[in-house]
Structure 1
Amino acid sequence: MCAIIAGVLVQWLFSAASDRPQETERSSSSAKPQAAPIELTPEEETAALKKEEMQLTQQLLRDFPGNDVILAFVGSVYRQHGNNTEAVKLLNKALELNPNRPDVYNALGSIAFAKGSYEEAITYLNRALKIDTRQPGLRSSIAFSLMALGRYTEAIEQLDNNVQIFPKSVYSHFLLGQACLQQKDYDNAREHYLTAIELDQNYVNAYYGLFTAYSRLERQDKAREYMAAFRRLKAEEIEASKARDKLYDDLVLMRQTIAENQIFAARIYQAGGRSDKTEELLQKAAILNPKNIICLKELAGLYSTTNRPTEALKMYKRISESEPQNPACFFNVGVISAMLKRFDDAEEALRKVIKLAPEDSRGYRELAWLYLNTKKSHSQARKLAEKAVKLEKTAVNYYLLACACDMNGDRTNALEAAEQAIQLDPGNVEYKQIYQRIKNRK
C-alpha cells in the first residue's frame, strides 16, 4: 500500500501541540491578589487611548526611521487627533522619501480643504490624480473644492468623468445635482438627485435638492412631495441623534479607529519579523473592537505561521461564529483540527465546507485525506477523491485519487491516477515515487 501523506495546507504547517513546552499553572498560594479593574469615565478612557496611540506612533518612528509608510501612517494618526500642523510635516517628509504616494497627496488636499485653502487642495488632489487616475473619491473632492470657488463648469467636468468610472457614486451624483442647480440646469439637476436617491433612498439632502429643482421647474406637486419626504427623513435623523449617547458613541468609534491603526502597525512589525510585537498589537486591537474580523484573521494567521495551532484554531472558531457562511474559515478549522488529532471536529468542519462550497474540490480532498489517515473509510475516501478530481483535474487531486485507489486495492486505477498527477506536475518527486512503488509492488 502507498504511504499516506496528509493533504497539504501551505499556510498552516505545524508540529504537534504536545511538542511545545506547556505553561505550568501557578498555585493559588503563590498567586498575588489581583487589584479590581479601575472604571474609567468616557473622557478618561479617551485620553488614555489617545496617549497610548501617540506612544505607539513614536515607537514606530524610532523602530523604522526613514520609512515613508511609517511617516504617512503617523501623519494620518496626528490628523485623526486634530493636529494638522504636525500631520502636514510628517506627510511632506513621506513625500520627500517617496513622491509617488497618491494617498499622501489626497490627505494633504483634505487638510488644505478643511482650512479653506481650496486652490492648494486642488493642487494636491490633482497631483494624486496624476499618479492614480482611478483612485475613488479624488475627482469628487476636486469638484467640491472647485464648487467652493464657484467654478461649477470645471466641477461638472470632473464629476462627469467620475461617474463614468464609478457610476454608483451617490456623492458624485448629489454634487452634480448641486452644480447643475447653480448653473440653472434644473432638468439635469433633477436627474442626478433622482439617481442619488435611487442608489441610496436615505440620502436626505438629495430630497431637498429635488424640492428645489422641481420648484424651479414650477412642478409644485412634485416639489411638495419631496419636501415632505425631506422633512420626514430629517425628523428621523434628529430623533436618532437625540437617542444616541454622543460621548459613548464617539468613544466606540475611537476604539474602532485605534483598533484599525493597531492592525496596520501590527502588519508593519510582522513584515519586520517582530512577531511578539505583532501579537501584542493584534490582541489589543481585538480587545478594543471584538467585532473586527480582520483582526481575528490576522491573529489566526500569526498563530498559524508561528506554529501555534491550538491558538489558531480558537481564532478560526471565533471567526466562524461571525461568518457562519464562510467555507474558508471552516476549511481552516477542519485542517487544523486534523493536525491536532481532533478528528471528529475535523470531519464536522470539512463536511460544513462541502455543504457551503459544493463546487470547490478542497473540502472533498481534505475530508478524503482525513478518512485515509484515520483509516475510517477507504471506500468513502475514494468517492470523495473521485469527486475532487471531477471538480478540478489538478495534480494534487489525482495524487489523492491514486492513494485512495491503492488503499482500496485497485492497482490499475491507482497507476492511472498517478500517471495523470505526474503529467500535470512532472517535477514532483513524490508523485513519481508513489507511481514506482505501486508499479513495482507484486
Structure 2
Amino acid sequence: MSLQDSDPQTSRTQQSSVASQSTWILVLVLVSIAAAGFLSSASVFDYSKALPTTAFELATTPAANPTNDRPQIPDASVPPLSAWLPEASLETIEECRNVCEHLVRLVPDLLESKEMLARFEFEFGDLQRAASLWNEILEKNPNFVYALRGLGDIATLDGNLPEAIVYFRRALNIDPQSLSWKLTLGSALLQAGQLDEARQVLQDVVNRSPQNDEAHLQLAQVLAQLNEIDASITEFETAIALNPDDRAARIGLISAYGRAGRMDDAKQQRENLNGLQVTVAEQRKTGRQNYDDVTAIRIDIARMYVDVARVHLAVGNAETAKLLLMRAHSMDPHDLDSRQALAYLAVSQGQPHNAIRWLLEIANLDNQTWSTISEIVRLYLELGKINESEETLIEFANNHTDSLQVERELVRFYTQVKPDKALAIDHAAKATRLSNSAEDFGMLASVYENFQEPELAIQALKNAVELEPENNTYRELLDLMFRDGETPPTLQPSSSPSSGQPQLQP
C-alpha cells in the first residue's frame, strides 16, 4: 500500500511479529550446545541475545521424557486466562488486557512489562494510556527504542509528523543498523514532504535490502514528487515485480507512464490494475466467508501472547510462559512463533518428544525450512530413533532436490550414524554437483577414505585443490596420503570437478 494509505498500527503489528522463525529455530539449536537461552538482560525484545543464566536455570528441568504432571505455578504467576477461548471479540480483547496488566503487577519494575501493556493499549485500547506508559518507560530509559517507536506512531496518527520524525530519528540513532527503523523514518519524511532526506534514507534501505518491495514503492513515490520520472518508473516496476498485488505501486506506475508520455504502457498497466481489483474483490469475499472479526483479533492477540510469554520466560516464569504459548497456539492454527517457542521450552526442559511434536507442526505449516528439519533429526537421534531420522531426511531430500544442506546431512548420516557406502558416496557426489565447491569435494574425499577407497579419495582431493589452489589444507591432505610411497594419480584433462565422480588416469 502507499505510504499515505498505510496504517501505523498495522505496520507496528507486522514488524513486531517479524522477529521471526529463524531466530527461534537458531536458538533451539543453540540450546543443545550450551545453556544459553534466547533473551538479553538488556531487553527481552532483542531476540538475538542470550537469556541470563539464572533465568535459563529457572526454566530448565531434568525431565528427559514427556510428562503428564500439571505444572506447579505459584498462584501469583498464574495468568488470568479463561478455561476456554472467548467467543466474542470484546471478551478476547478483555482477556488480553487482563494478561498484560497481570504481567505489570507481577514485575512492575520491568520496563518490558509496561511495553506489553502499552502495545496492547495502542492496538486495542486507549492511545492516551499507551502514550503515558511509553513516556514512563522513557523517563527510566531514554533509549528504549520500542517506546520511541510507539510515541512516533501515535504522533503520526495525530498528524504531528515533525514530532513523529523526532522519535523515529532517535530510535534509528540508537539502532542505526535497523532497516525497520530506517524505513519508518523514511515513510515519515515522505509524508512530511522532506523529500531530499527521504530519498537518501529510502535509497539506503533499498541498497541494503533489495527485496523490500515497500521500500522500492516509497522511494518511487519520492522520486515521482521530485520529478525524476524515469527513475520513479524503475522503482515502481521493481516494487510490482516483488509484489504483483501491490495496487498502490500499479497506480503510481500508471501516473508515471502518463507523465513520461508512454500512453500504451499506461493503458496496459490500467488493464492489469482492473484485473487485480477483480481478484482482490474475490479474495475479500472469500476472506469474509472464512474469517470473522473474532478470528482476526485472535490472530493479533496470539502474537501479543507470544511476546508476553517471552517476558515471563526472561524472569523465570517458564510454566506461565508455556500456558500463554499454548493459548496462542489455540488462537491461531497457523502461528509459527508459538510453536517455535514451545519447541524451545521443551528442549530446554529436557523433553525431546514434546519438542518433536511442535517441530513437526511447524514443518507441516512451513515445509521449506531446513533448520526445522535438521532439529527434528537431531532430536530423533538423541532419542535413538534412527529410522525416523532417516525417513525425515529422505522426505525432505525428495521434496527439495536442490537442497545442498540435506545432501550434506545425508552424507554424515550414512557415514557416521547408519554406515552405507553406496548411499554416502551417492549423496556426497550429488553435493559436489550442486555446489561444485572445494568443500564438498573434500567431503567426498573423506567419504571415499572412510570406506577404504584411497585412489578415489585422492582424486576428489585433487579436484578440491583445482577449485581452491590457494587452500593449503587440501594439498597437505594429499601429501599425507602419498607418504606411503604411492604415486599420485594425474587428473585427466577432460575431467571436470562438476561431474561429481572423479576419473583416474591409469
TM-score where L is the length of structure 1: 0.68
Counterpart of 1:178 (choices 215, 218, 221) is 221
Distance verdict in 2 for CA 1:100–1:225, change over 3 Å: same
* Percent of pairs with identical residues: 24
Q: Deviations over 1:331-369 (max 9, x none)?
A: 554555566566654564576688874554598469956
Give yes or no for the alignment of 1:69 onto 2:138.
Answer: no
Deviations 1:231-261 (A, max 9, x none): 2222332333344318934432321221122
Pick from 191, 204, 227 the counterpart of residue 247 of structure 2. Answer: 204
Q: How does 1:19-418 map to 2 (within 5 A)?
A: 44-245=87-288, 248-324=291-367, 328-330=371-373, 332-333=375-376, 336-337=379-380, 345=388, 348-349=391-392, 357-360=405-408, 364=412, 368=416
Alignment partners' CA distance in 1, 2:324 and 2:197? 45
Q: How far apart in 2 are the matches of 1:392 and 1:283?
A: 46
Instruction: Kindly provide the amino acid, as one letter, of the partner of residue 301 in structure 1.
Output: Y
> Which digits, 9 at most, give the CA deviation of each residue in 1:295-346, with x for residues without a partner?
2232222223324344334333433433456555455545555665666545
Q: Which structure would you say has the larger RCO, counting Cα contacts within 8 Å and 6 or more residues apart? A: 2
2: distance between equivalents of 1:334 and 1:49?
38
Q: Distance in 1 between matches of 2:396 and 2:273?
A: 47
Cα deviation for residue 108 of structure 1 reads 1.5
Deviation at 1:72, TM superposition (A): 1.8
Q: Is the 8 A contact 1:17 1:340 kept in 2?
A: no
Deviates more, 1:283-292 or 1:357-366: 357-366
**Structure 1 CA distance for aligned equivalents of residues 393 and 168 of structure 2:** 49
Rounded Cα–Cα distance in structure 1 between residues aligned with 2:304 and 2:149: 18
**Deviation (angstroms), 1:115:** 1.2
Partner secondary structure for residue 222 of structure 2 = helix
Could you list the runs of 5+ residues in structure 1 that have no partner in the other structure? Answer: 1-7, 24-36, 372-378, 402-442
Residue segments in structure 2 that go unaligned for 5+ positions in a row: 1-30, 36-60, 71-82, 429-438, 451-506
CA shift digits 1:84-120 (9 cap, x unpaired): 1111111122222222233322221111111111111
On the 8 A contact 1:17/1:308 being kept in 2, the answer is yes
RMSD value over aligned CA atoms? 4.1
Q: Is the 8 A contact 1:53 1:258 kept in 2?
A: yes
Closer, same or farther in 2 for the Cα pair 1:321/1:163, shift >3 Å?
A: closer
Change over 3 Å in CA distance of 1:51–1:348 after alignment to 2 = same
Contact 1:351 1:367 in 2 (8 A): no
Q: 2 CA distance for matches of 1:157 and 1:336?
A: 48
User: Does the C-alpha gap of structure 1 residues 121 and 368 become closer, same or farther in structure 2, counting only changes over 3 Å?
Assistant: same
User: Contact (CA 8 Å) 2:220, 2:236: kept in 1 or not?
Assistant: yes
Q: What secondary structure is seen at the aligned counterpart in 2 of 1:85?
A: helix
User: What CA distance in whole angstroms lies between the structure 1 residues aligned with 2:107 and 2:226?
Assistant: 51
Change (3 A) 1:14 1:92: same
Q: Count the aligned residue pairs.
A: 365
Asked if 1 retains the 8 angstrom alpha-carbon contact of 2:219 and 2:235, the reply is yes
Partner amino acid for 1:123? V
8 Å CA contact 2:149, 2:167 repeated in 1 = yes
Report if aligned partners of 1:350, 1:366 keep a CA contact under 8 Å in 2: no
The structural deviation recorded for 1:63 is 1.3
Aligned residue type for 1:188: A
- Paired with 1:92 and 1:72, the residues of 2 have a C-alpha distance of 10
Task: Return closer, same or farther for 1:117/1:361 CA change in 2, 3 Å cut-off.
Answer: same
Q: Give the Cα separation in 1 of the matches to 2:313 and 2:349.
A: 11
Could you tell me how far 1:203 is from its partner in structure 2?
1.7
With over 3 angstroms needed to count, the CA separation of the structure-2 counterparts of 1:9 and 1:47, relative to structure 1, is: same
CA distance in 1, matches of 2:214, 2:91: 36
The 1:114/1:310 distance shift into structure 2, 3 A limit, reads: same
Match of 2:136, SS state, is helix
Compared with structure 1, are the counterparts of its residues 391 and 164 closer, same or farther at alpha carbon in structure 2 (3 Å cutoff)? closer
- Kept in 2, the 8 Å contact 1:207–1:226? The answer is yes
Q: Is the 8 A contact 1:351 1:363 kept in 2?
A: no
Separation of aligned partners in 2, 1:160 and 1:256: 33
Judged with a 3 Å threshold, the aligned counterparts in structure 2 of structure 1 residues 353 and 190 are, in CA distance, closer, same or farther, namely: closer
In the TM superposition, what is the alpha-carbon distance from 1:60 to its structure 2 partner?
0.7
**Using a 3 Å threshold, how does the CA distance of structure 1 residues 338 and 185 change in structure 2: closer, same or farther?**
closer
